[in-house]
């Protein structure tokens, strides 16, 4: 039996793909309502993370941040209380390498196994089973979970030992979030010089100087309607995780920190809950006056 | 007859494609040696920019910077001295919008016509006639030169009035050069956390978070051999042009300026003549110690 | 006879101190009204910069930017047209070293002498004859003008050859303007943590970690009333001059450029005409929500 | 009886001043050797933090970072195990506001009282009893410890409730460390323009645009001999604490983060153990080539 904990938008879609693949599933979430659709499709409900671990052989978690993982894993009715006999915990949450390594250690101390398996891809790919898994863990453990990952994703990158999956995820998000800020600057700069916004965006998308994922922000930026797909405050949080990990290894990141403070400004000006592309709104407001 | 002034690597290849397309060509370059291959293929030599303008109906220029354009255009034996009777000057140099507009004005004052037509693309695309032209100028003028542009390039983006071609080029280079710096930070950050450099690069190239053009830097970064395709000091120069144009329009560019100062550091540490991807060398040196 | 060109707030006060010192004075300004108070105190009026140079042996200029100096110096009725027979031009304007050196060359080519003599100090010190002169030029020339400088200022720093005065002025303004931004961040940061603004400002002023000149911004920041003493757009302009000079010498300035873009943002948000301390307003708006 | 835990350079000098003031003192340090000079002057030795708390009514701690404070406070033989009956713990360590508040809560939960009392000032002022205390805590508690603070310092700033002392300390260090980086940029910029380093430093010190504390770095920078008074890695650590606290409150700090990454670079290039003024070395190396 497979366990799944954390049924937000991402987790619910991932769990649904496991069910669709024919797996027996036992699930837990802080609020039970979010589990309802899965229960209707045949998943079992557990009253605690501990109970999930007790019943399942492999447990996936997909939670918001280190604090949420800690609470699910280490609480009185937590996951680690139920993990016994060489069971396997696969954490898909976006945390940080030091945290993942600490979880790996605690899991191994309990005689069990740990994999960090964060994903690149958002809601759409999660629904369609098209996520990209970035994995840190032992070879045989990764081999063991591949059938389940394949049910949820389209690619699996095994990056090495514990913590390397989440390290890769942070590098991916560094690129994503800083590229968004750079693109916003390019458009804001070009329009301040009198260029047509739409035409400039299309030129930048057609030339190979722009990260392809940003094409998805075309309409948002054109209509300045930044309903959140990836909330700006999460982009800022990821940059903060990156900043703290870089501090630990002594890696200077001046450009990335420039982006971090730009998002900080955007939050400060009330854009936290908008899509992270709203960093463009911050930069462009007022340019029409020029 | 078509004129061509400025026979560096880019200009020579562009002029060769005009010849190959069957155009009659008259050329000028500060040092005559560089013209030799074109002369052997049938181009005529002119002793001055003025002479080129005298003989040709349309004159292309492809020069290093505003100072070089100024010297070619405004000197005693300069281009503008020979431009008469509604002739057309097409400047493909990377300069800045204010400068291009000034050149347009001077050309029109002489009863002639001006187009700014900088290109996206480097040596390879120049050779293969695969450049992308970013154009500022009047509709009918642009129409008139399309056959020649098509001989040298694969796409033509007419961005509007004089100066808009070069404005677009600066926005493109902002993206290119800042993306390179961001990618260098992502790799440097990831390897400081213990990831394998090659594997991380490939993950970032496979996911849509990376500007495709950067794939061309894979081997450079892998082997830390940064022989210049696009010299770092030119990347820095372009960022300086961008910074000055942004100052004129009041456009804040915090992330781009973070990149500008990173390239400044790289120059300061002796990397001016290396490829602009050598910004990675600056960031990664010493990480092995961690 | 002494000439004085450029009768803004600074120039008018400086010229008045020369008059008060008993000098015979001939003045010129783009708009004659501003000269009226000086004419009433006995200064003579000239109809052009050329006329000032024709009549005076030593000519002081105090203008807004390189463009203004260029227009006064090189115009048809310009200063250089009247400078003959070893006369001395002392430029007190805040320009940049490359520009000052170019002016020195042109002046010497006319058989005359040049000194760059920008000042540290604003309106108050200008009134009270308490400016600090930062000088570039030849020893004997500097010696010759000391009596006049002493009438307008309290200190004279001879920094070496032509251009070194203005180079020093830019280094001083780098410190001033970046320190202001840093102080604004310190206060904004502290109050976001719950500290009392006034108390924190006083602690920072009492400890030796704060540039003393910033004490003059205490009331502005306390009452968030930023009536301009030193307009924010001028602070930004100076940072731009610094940035361009640093580009010429290859000097990386990451912190200063962080400040430059912060002021760019402040301009973008409509604070151009406020005092440069209004950078604090940009940073603090919204913190009360925290 | 007064307790003192943490006998590094700062702590030893502070404890010595308490002894000199006639206090009965019991001390603890991780390595006993460092306590020897105090024991010879009459201090008592305790075998654990718990024992210090058991014997003393007021306990001062002066430790390196949050981890060290946590270990001293929460260990099996830790401070909190011995704190009973309304005793008072005064933590002078540089930590962060969230941490201090957490310590205050734990102390109060044990029925005791807490004050955060970090200091501005380094080794010299510590020796001479000239520190500046920045205090967070309840009025009556602060009143109670004033005699002891007066024995060690020259000023006491009571900034409000728990955590406000350390919040103030972070704002002070933000100013200190960012001002150092700015000054380094000003000197590096000026000398790249040909100015004499010593003369420029003196001009900047004489004008009110420079934080007075930086005068203490004059000789270091002149002779490029950066033996650590305040190690560069500590400056970087403080900026990291500031960055994390600012993230919590949503305070954008673009200039300060520019400085943070400049220090990160300096660490990366091997300058961790040098004085934080060595950020100048990073910026100036190579300028002679210009």
The residue in chain D having the minimum alpha-carbon distance to the alpha carbon of residue A266 is: D252
d(CA B192, CA B187): 8
Nearest to C178 by CA among A129, D217, D184, D133: D184
- Count CA within 13 A, CB hemisphere, residue B53: 27
Structural contact between residues D168 and C195, judged by C-beta atoms closer than 8 angstroms: yes
Q: Tell me, yes or no, whether B92 and B212 share the same domain.
A: no
Q: Tell me, yes or no, whether D35 and D125 share the same domain.
A: yes
A9's tokens: 């938008």
Tell whether C37 lies on the interface with A, counting CB pairs under 8 A: no
Which residues of chain B are within 8 Å of residue D268 when distances are taken between CB atoms?
285-287
Nearest to B52 by CA among B22, B72, B23: B72
Which residues of chain D are within 8 Å of residue B287 when distances are taken between CB atoms?
268
Q: Tell me, yes or no, whether C12 and C154 share the same domain.
A: yes
**Residue D231 belongs to domain spanning:** 167-288
Choose the closest CB to C189 out of D174, D204, D283: D174
Question: Predicted ipTM?
Answer: 0.93
Q: Tell me, yes or no, whether C17 and C140 share the same domain.
A: yes
How close, in Å, is residue D276 to chain A by CA atoms? 16
Residue in the structure block whose two tokens are 């100036």: D284
Give the model confidence (pLDDT) of C97-149 as tens digits: 999 999 999 999 999 999 999 999 888 899 999 999 999 999 999 999 999 99
Tell whether A242 lies on the interface with B, counting CB pairs under 8 A: yes
Q: What is the mean pLDDT of chain B?
A: 94
| Active-site residue set of B | 169
Tell whether B248 lies on the interface with C, counting CB pairs under 8 A: no
Q: Tell me, yes or no, whether B142 and B281 share the same domain.
A: no
Axis crossing angle, helix D97-109 with helix D66-74, rounded to the nearest 10: 10
Q: Which 3 state secondary structure label does DSSP give D116?
A: strand
Tell whether D207 lies on the interface with C, counting CB pairs under 8 A: yes
With CB atoms and an 8 Å threshold, state whether B261 touches C254: yes
Structural contact between residues B175 and A182, judged by C-beta atoms closer than 8 angstroms: yes
Residue in the structure block whose two tokens are 């602060």: D142
How close, in Å, is residue B249 to chain D by CA atoms? 21
Residue in the structure block whose two tokens are 């019991």: D26
d(CA A152, CA A62): 13
Choose the closest CB to D286 out of B254, B268, B285: B268
Domain end, chosen from D160, D194, D225, is at D160
With CB atoms and an 8 Å threshold, state whether A194 touches B160: yes
Q: Tell me, yes or no, whether B154 and B185 share the same domain.
A: no
| C65 Rama sector, left if φ>0, alpha if ψ -120 to 50, beta otherwise | beta
d(CA B27, CA B49): 8
d(CA B238, CA D22): 68
d(CA D92, CA C201): 22
- The catalytic position among A169, A217, A260, A274 is A169
Beta pairing class for C119-120 and C131-135: antiparallel
Domain end, chosen from D109, D128, D160, is at D160
With CB atoms and an 8 Å threshold, state whether C189 touches D160: no
d(CA C29, CA B33): 54
Structural contact between residues A247 and D239, judged by C-beta atoms closer than 8 angstroms: no
Q: Tell me, yes or no, whether C207 and C279 share the same domain.
A: yes
Domain end, chosen from A110, A127, A160, is at A160
pLDDT of residue D197 exceeding 60: yes
pLDDT of residue D62 exceeding 60: yes
Q: Which of residues 140-169 of B touch A (CB under 8 A)?
A: 155, 157, 159-161, 163-164, 167-168
Phi, psi of D89 (to 5 degrees): -105, 125
Render D170-219 in DSSP notation, one character per residue.
HHHHHHHHHHHHHHHHHHHHHHHTT--HHHHHHHHHHSTTS-GGGGGGHH
How close, in Å, is residue B164 to chain A by CA atoms? 6
Q: What average pLDDT does this structure show over B267-290? A: 83
Q: Tell me, yes or no, whether B89 and B150 share the same domain.
A: yes
Choose the closest CB to A254 out of B172, B261, B287: B261
Residue in the structure block whose two tokens are 């943002």: C265
Q: Tell me, yes or no, whether D40 and D98 share the same domain.
A: yes
Q: Which of residues 49-68 of C touch B (CB under 8 A)?
A: none
Counted domains in chain C: 2
Tell whether A109 lies on the interface with B, counting CB pairs under 8 A: no
Render A114-145 in DSSP notation, one character per residue.
EEE--EE--HHHHHTT-EEEEEBS-HHHHHHH
Percent of chain D residues past pLDDT 70, beyond the cut = 98
Q: Tell me, yes or no, whether A153 and A283 share the same domain.
A: no
pLDDT of residue B288 exceeding 50: no
Instruction: Chain B: list its partners (3+ Cβ pairs within 8 Å).
Output: A, C, D
Give the model confidence (pLDDT) of D10-44 as tens digits: 999 999 999 999 999 999 999 999 999 999 999 99
d(CA D248, CA C26): 61
Phi, psi of C233 (to 5 degrees): -65, -25
Q: What average pLDDT does this structure show over C160-183? A: 97
pLDDT of residue D154 exceeding 90: yes
Q: What is the dihedral of CA A257, A260, A262, A264, to 10 degrees?
A: -140
Tell whether D246 lies on the interface with A, counting CB pairs under 8 A: yes
With CB atoms and an 8 Å threshold, state whether D182 touches C183: no
d(CA C82, CA C3): 12
Mutate which of D189, D268, D290 to disrupt the B interface (most B C-beta within 10 Å)?
Answer: D268
With CB atoms and an 8 Å threshold, state whether D194 touches C160: yes
With CB atoms and an 8 Å threshold, state whether C268 touches B247: no
d(CA D289, CA C142): 30
List the beta strands (DSSP E) in chain C.
2-5, 25-28, 44-45, 58-61, 88-91, 113-116, 119-120, 131-135, 153-158
d(CA D163, CA C153): 47
How close, in Å, is residue C40 to chain D by CA atoms? 34
pTM of the model: 0.94
D230 DSSP 8-state letter: S
CATH number, domain with residue C265: 1.10.1040.10
Looking at residue A179, its pLDDT comes to 98
Q: Tell me, yes or no, whether D40 and D87 share the same domain.
A: yes
Nearest to A234 by CA among A276, A181, A176, A184: A276
Choose the closest CB to B265 out of C244, C252, C262: C252
CATH number, domain with residue D30: 3.40.50.720
With CB atoms and an 8 Å threshold, state whether B243 touches C243: yes
Q: Which 3 state secondary structure label does DSSP give A57?
A: coil
Percent of chain D residues past pLDDT 90, beyond the cut = 91
Nearest to B48 by CA among B95, B13, B110, B3: B3
Tell whether C254 lies on the interface with A, counting CB pairs under 8 A: yes
Q: Tell me, yes or no, whether A151 and A96 share the same domain.
A: yes
A78's tokens: 């937590």
Choose the closest CB to B267 out of C243, C250, C254: C250
d(CA C277, CA C216): 10
With CB atoms and an 8 Å threshold, state whether C252 touches B264: yes
Tell whether C273 lies on the interface with A, counting CB pairs under 8 A: no
pLDDT in tens, chain A (290 residues): 999 999 999 999 999 999 999 999 999 999 999 999 999 999 999 999 999 999 999 999 999 889 999 999 998 999 999 988 889 999 999 999 999 999 999 999 999 999 999 999 888 899 999 999 999 999 999 999 999 999 999 999 999 999 999 999 999 999 999 999 999 999 999 999 999 999 999 999 999 999 999 999 999 999 999 999 899 999 999 999 999 999 999 999 999 999 999 999 999 999 999 999 999 999 987 543 33
Give the model confidence (pLDDT) of C190-245 as tens digits: 999 999 999 999 999 999 999 999 999 999 999 999 999 899 999 999 999 999 99
D158's tokens: 């009571």
Cβ atoms < 10 Å from Cβ of B160: 17
The residue in chain A having the minimum alpha-carbon distance to the alpha carbon of residue B187 is: A171
| Active-site residue set of C | 169
């Amino acid at each position: 039996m497979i366990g799944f904990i954390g049924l937000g938008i991402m987790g619910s879609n991932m769990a649904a793909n496991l069910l669709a693949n024919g797996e027996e599933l036992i699930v837990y979430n802080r609020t039970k309502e979010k589990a309802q659709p899965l229960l209707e499709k045949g998943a079992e409900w557990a009253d605690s993370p501990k109970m999930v671990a007790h019943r399942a052989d492999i447990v996936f978690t997909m939670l918001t941040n280190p604090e949420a993982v800690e609470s699910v894993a280490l609480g009185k009715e937590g996951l680690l209380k139920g993990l016994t006999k060489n069971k396997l915990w696969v954490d898909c949450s976006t945390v940080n390498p030091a945290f993942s390594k600490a979880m790996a250690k605690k899991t191994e101390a309990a005689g069990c196994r740990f994999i960090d398996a964060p994903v690149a891809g958002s809601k759409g790919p999660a629904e369609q089973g098209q996520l990209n898994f970035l994995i840190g863990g032992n070879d045989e453990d990764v081999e063991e979970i591949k059938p389940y990952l394949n049910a949820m994703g389209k690619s699996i990158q095994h990056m090495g030992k514990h913590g390397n999956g989440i390290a890769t995820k942070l590098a991916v998000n560094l690129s994503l979030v800083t590229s968004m800020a750079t693109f916003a600057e390019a458009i804001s700069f070009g329009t301040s010089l009198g260029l047509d916004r739409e035409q400039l965006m299309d030129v930048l998308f057609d030339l190979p100087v722009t990260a392809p994922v940003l094409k998805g922000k075309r309409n948002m930026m054109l209509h300045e309607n930044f309903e959140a797909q990836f909330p700006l405050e999460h982009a800022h949080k990821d940059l903060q995780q990156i900043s703290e990990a870089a501090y630990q290894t002594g890696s200077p990141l001046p450009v990335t920190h420039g982006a971090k403070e730009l998002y900080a400004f955007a939050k400060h000006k009330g854009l936290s809950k908008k899509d992270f592309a709203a960093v463009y709104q911050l930069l462009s407001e007022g340019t029409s006056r020029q």
